[in-house]
Amino acid sequence: MNAQALIPWETIRKEFGDDGELLDLLITGAGLHGWQRFLAFGKSAELDMHFFVDCVEVSIPNSVEDIFALYPEKVARLSFFHLDGLCLDSNFFSQEMVDVAIPVNGMSEDRFTILLEFMAALGLELGKDVTLNHDCQRDTPFLRYSCATRDFKYTPSS
């Protein structure tokens, strides 16, 4: 897939301002099975992953069921490094939605291309659509990867 040809960097660049904003990569309807596949995907891709509970690094549990059962009142976060050195954080807020925070600082054309490839790989691995939203705008994604059609749709944010 030539993701960059589908959505040219110059077309979408304005969505990645340098103001310290976080973007939300979301996979809704994932459930515990989807979370488990997400965790396995990170391990199989040999990403540099670290797991934190209330800002203290602990061993990554083998099962996401354990994460939600052992840490229901705590902040559980999986940080991993990918996308040309970009740090991504996945917070275990909901069993139904995989949520990955992506900082926009330092986004470049090369990182954007890798982000598109990452979104497509996640969508195919989990069998779900993947959206990219501005922080706190979960109902209005500006970028969507469709697992069914295996393509991206860009809807400029206002």
Q: pLDDT tens-digit profile of 141-154?
A: 999 999 999 999 99
Taking CB atoms within 8 Å and a gap of at least 24, the contacts of 12-18 are 12/112, 12/142, 12/143, 12/154, 14/156, 15/134, 15/142, 15/143, 15/156, 15/157, 16/104, 16/107, 16/112, 17/104, 18/104, 18/105
pLDDT of residue 148: 94
**Is a pLDDT exceeding 60 seen at residue 78?**
yes
**Is a pLDDT exceeding 70 seen at residue 5?**
no
CB atoms closer than 10 angstroms to residue 150: 11
pLDDT of residue 27: 94
pLDDT of residue 1: 54
Strands 48-53 and 76-82, sheet pairing: antiparallel
**Is a pLDDT exceeding 90 seen at residue 87?**
no
pLDDT tens-digit readout, 23-77:
999 999 999 999 999 888 888 877 788 888 888 888 888 888 988 888 777 777 8
Mean pLDDT across 80-105 = 81
Report field, pTM of the whole predicted structure over 0.85: yes
Backbone dihedral region for residue 32 (phi beyond 0: left; psi -120 to 50: alpha; all else: beta): alpha
Q: Which residue has the tokens 């990219």?
A: 132
What are the residues facing 132 on neighbouring strands?
A: 25, 143
